[in-house]
Structures are given as C-alpha cells and as structure tokens.
C-alpha cells in the first residue's frame, strides 16, 4: 500500500474528490496516511493518526512506496506547541509557516526529520507520549485563542470545535477521534458539573439530541471552545452562556474526563 505524508502547512481533506466538496478535516505538517484509491488526480486516504478517511489533491501529498524510518510508529515524535512556527527546509533554504500540532522527529543534531526530509526549527515542542496534566491541557488550549472557526479545520489557520479538542489533546500526548460524537464515547463520565476539573471535555447537543459541539473546561464556570472563533465563555449545568448576547448558545449533554491510553 502506498503511504504519504504532509510536507506543507496543511492539506484539506474533502468529502469527495473535488475542490468544491465539503472540507471534513485537515492534515497538518508531518501527519501521514495510507492511500486507499485514486481518482482523476485525487487520493482517497486514511489518516494514520485517527483513521479518518477522505480525499486530498494528489499534487499536495508526498508519497512513498516504502516509508522512511522516521514515519514508523515506534519512533518517538515531537509536536510543535507554538501557535504558528516557521520551518526551514535544509535542502532548499525555503521557509514556510506551520501550525501547532505539526509532527516531527528530532535528530541528535537538532534538525527535524519528516518523511526523510530535514528541517530547522527553534521553537517550543511537546513529546507525543507525555502524560496528561490538567494545567497543560488548559495551557495548550489557550494557544489557539482567537483562532477563527473553520468547518473541518484542525490548525491555527482555522479550526472547528472537535478539531480544537483533538489537537489540544494531541499536544498533551492523548489521541482523540476526529468528530465530537466519537470523542464523547471516550473517557470517564462525570455526572455533576461541580465534580468537574480543568481539562475535562464538555459535550453539547442539538434539538434532536445529537452531540454537535465540544469544549474544554478551563476552571469552574468557564469553558474554551471554537464557536465563531476560539473563545472563553461561561458554562453551568444548563450549558454555555454568551455574556455579550445574554443567552445560552449550547445545551450541555455530558461531561467526560479523558486519560491517556
């Protein structure tokens, strides 16, 4: 099976092989995938990180018949934890921006390797296997404050509510599924809001009872979530309260505490 990797800031993942099709997710720099099928210059792929499937333009992917060693799951990885960072391609000298959540291997010489390519980077990073610490979850969440909402987004260029939760927990070394209704199946249920603690995930539903929103508890009474932009709002047992609109915007359905797996 052909394997590929993202070596640009991000690649849109679409529902169908068409640039006009809905964007359902994004690859970040350093994230890899398997190619399931091809169609008219498009690749039907499955992401290694969360097994999400979709279509990407073939001319934005870097493909391998035999993946380099630094794409092996056995190799310890690092994740960029700056909101935005600049990488320099050692071979060409070209610089380009990447988002928090981008993945790489750090060599002994300090250079980053991704898919056999080498880059320079001097910013902040987190390991992909660190233990969850509540204060770290909240600190990582704040990195994205004021990032614009973008359906299907997973980056500092634009992010949706479940993409936000997934990338924040990726920075803490914990894998979450891509979509909020799948994320809600993980972790330990917390039944009362006064039993919550910072870093818990709060899920919200629509009028049909379907989970359609997720946010991260910052402290008692405040949540950080992607709604228009990544923002901090008040929250209680009813849901999220928008102080500017003086109204509840999301109805609380359940609370989950996620531990590393």
Write out pLDDT tens, residues 53-66: 999 999 999 998 77
Mean pLDDT of 86-99: 94
69 has pLDDT over 80: no
On average, the pLDDT of the chain sits at 91
Cα–Cα dist 174/105, whole Å:
18
**Residue-wise pLDDT tens digits, 2-51:** 999 999 999 999 999 999 999 999 999 999 999 999 999 999 999 999 99
Q: Which residue has the higher pLDDT, 180 or 261?
A: 180
Confidence at 126, pLDDT banded by 50, 70, 90: confident
Asked if 250 contacts 206 with a C-beta cutoff of 8 angstroms, the reply is: no
Tell me the CATH class for 3-64. mainly beta
Fold of 134-257: endopeptidase fold (from Nostoc punctiforme) (3.90.1720)
Summarised one tens digit per residue, pLDDT across range 99-125 is: 999 998 877 677 888 878 899 988 898
19: burial class by Cβ within 10 Å (0-12, 13-18, 19+)? exposed
Contact predicate 217/196, CB 8 Å = yes
pLDDT score recorded for residue 90? 93
| Catalytic residue annotation | 161, 213, 225
* pLDDT at res. 114: 85
- So what's the pLDDT on residue 106? 78
Per the rule left: phi > 0, alpha: psi between -120 and 50, beta: everything else, 196 is beta
Higher pLDDT, 73 or 181: 181
Q: What is the DSSP letter of 197?
A: -
Q: Decide if 64 contacts 2 (C-beta within 8 A).
A: yes
Model confidence at 194: pLDDT above 70: yes
């Amino acid at each position: 099976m052909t394997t590929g990797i993202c070596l640009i800031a991000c690649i849109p993942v679409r529902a169908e092989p068409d640039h006009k099709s809905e964007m359902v997710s994004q690859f970040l720099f350093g994230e890899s995938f398997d190619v399931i099928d091809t169609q008219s210059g498009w690749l039907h792929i499955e992401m290694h990180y969360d097994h999400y499937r979709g279509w990407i333009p073939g001319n934005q992917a870097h493909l391998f018949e035999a993946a380099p060693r630094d794409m092996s799951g056995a190799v310890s990885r690092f994740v960029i934890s700056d909101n935005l960072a600049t990488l320099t391609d050692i071979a060409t000298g070209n610089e380009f921006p990447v988002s928090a959540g981008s993945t790489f291997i750090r060599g002994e010489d300090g250079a980053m390797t991704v898919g056999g390519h080498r880059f320079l980077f001097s910013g902040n990073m987190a390991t992909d296997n660190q233990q969850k610490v509540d204060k770290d979850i909240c600190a990582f969440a704040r990195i994205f404050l004021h990032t614009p909402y973008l359906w299907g987004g997973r980056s500092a260029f634009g992010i949706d509510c479940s993409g936000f939760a997934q990338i924040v927990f990726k920075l803490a070394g914990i894998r979450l599924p891509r979509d909020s209704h799948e994320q809600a199946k993980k972790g330990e249920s917390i039944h009362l809001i006064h039993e919550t603690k910072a870093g818990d995930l709060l899920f919200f539903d629509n009028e049909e009872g379907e989970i359609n929103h997720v946010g991260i508890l910052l402290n008692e009474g405040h949540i950080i979530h992607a709604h228009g932009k990544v923002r901090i709002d008040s929250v209680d047992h009813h849901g999220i309260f928008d102080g500017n609109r003086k109204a509840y915007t999301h109805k609380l359905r359940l609370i989950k505490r996620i531990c590393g797996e």
